[in-house]
Amino acid sequence: MAIAAGRGQVPFARRRACTYHHVLFLVIGAFLLSRRGVLAPVLSIGQGSEVQEVEEKIKGSKVFLLSKEYCPFCQRAKSILSSVGVAGLEVLELADMDKRPLVKDPAAIMDYMEKITGARTVPRLFIAGKFVGGYDDIVRMSQSGELQQRLKEADAL
């Protein structure tokens, strides 16, 4: 038995379906936005304790490298720094060889890196609290001798 709707009214069953799809659309949209990092991490840039710890390590270390264990560029960067003979290298690994996070909120740390360095990639090298560059910069500076010079100036060789 169909229920007749009054003039200009939508039948109840159809109204309910529209509402269901509307809610479903909103839930899926919110989920996708949060996965992209648009909702959650933006609110916590510079606010989380991990981000503050990273900031303090950058400022307090002679040489600081942000890395991921599984990243081949990070492995090569650490090899270059080791072969140069860096003293006081502090490495923060964001993920292990199985790509499992080693910190509570790696996305917030990467958001912070993007904010201060312009990129979310690893490795990120800092000497005496100043951003030096990523892997390509490390290789270029190592080959030209600039890396060794900067490390000497920071008393890290």
Between CA 142 and CA 99 the distance in angstroms is 28
As a whole number of Å, the end-to-end CA separation of the chain is 87
The predicted-structure confidence for 103-133, as pLDDT tens digits, reads as follows 999 999 999 999 999 999 999 999 999 999 9
Between CA 135 and CA 79 the distance in angstroms is 11
Residues 6+ apart with CB under 8 A from 50: 103, 104, 105, 108, 109
| Average pLDDT of span 135-150 | 98
Q: Are 102 and 94 in contact (CB under 8 A)?
A: yes
| Average pLDDT of span 7-12 | 60
Which pLDDT belongs to residue 70?
97
Which pTM was predicted?
0.69
Q: Please list the residues that pair with 127 across neighbouring strands.
A: 63, 130
Q: Please list the residues that pair with 91 across neighbouring strands.
A: 65
Chain centroid to CA 150: 26
The predicted-structure confidence for 25-43, as pLDDT tens digits, reads as follows 555 555 544 443 333 333 3
Between CA 31 and CA 148 the distance in angstroms is 47
